[in-house]
Amino acid sequence: MCGRLALSTPPRWLAAWVAAHLDEPETAGGLAPRPMGRPGELVPVVLAEEDRRVLRAAWWGLPRTGPGQGSSRRLINARAETLLERPTFRPLMAEGRCLVLADAFFEWTGPSGTRRPLRVQRSDGTPLALAGLACPRPEGLAVAVVTVAAGPDLASIHDRMPVPLAPADWPRWLAPVP
């Protein structure tokens, strides 16, 4: 599963790339370049707010909810196949869809004890816009990356992968569901 994200593209460039308003006060300083960002850190997300897109920072990892969910572990990934079944994700499918922006994500390969990260990125160097689900929390916006079964290029590395969205798919993913 996607457990690390790389970011080196400046927030202003990302905002221009996705045609989003840069939410300066909330984003400034929160999206510093990082070669291997971890869950629990801030990541850039794009949300549809009224009639425009907004780029802001979100904490990577949704808190677990429901009975018996006392774990401090956060949900960093959400399986696309069960989004409408899981009580944590079902309401976010209607109003919490977002894009999670990154230059690359990492998957680990090799035998236990000697595993090494493998960087996955676009061949043309363009950032990735990954399907995500965002939820406002008291500590700030929280987000999980939506995953699917790995495609042929990644199946030998890991069985799951984040859902990359093409620019033509952004409006449909970001549109609220009635």
Q: How many other CB atoms are there within 10 angstroms of residue 122's CB atom?
A: 11
Query: What's the pLDDT at 5?
Result: 95
Query: What's the pLDDT at 162?
Result: 95
8 Å CB contact between 165 and 129: yes
Query: What's the pLDDT at 141?
Result: 93
Query: What's the pLDDT at 71?
Result: 53
Query: What's the pLDDT at 70?
Result: 53
Handedness of CA 75, 76, 79, 84 (dihedral sign): positive
Question: Which residues have CB under 8 Å from 170's CB, separation 6+?
Answer: 18, 46, 99, 129
**Structure token digits, residue 56:** 């802001």
Amino acid identity of 84? L
Counted residue by residue, the chain has a size of 178
53-94 tens-digit pLDDT: 999 999 999 987 655 555 567 899 999 999 999 988 999 999
Q: Are strands 116-120 and 128-137 parallel, antiparallel or unpaired?
A: unpaired
Q: What's the predicted TM-score (pTM) here? A: 0.91
Q: For tokens 């593209």, what's the residue?
A: 9
Residue ranges in the chain whose pLDDT is less than 50? none
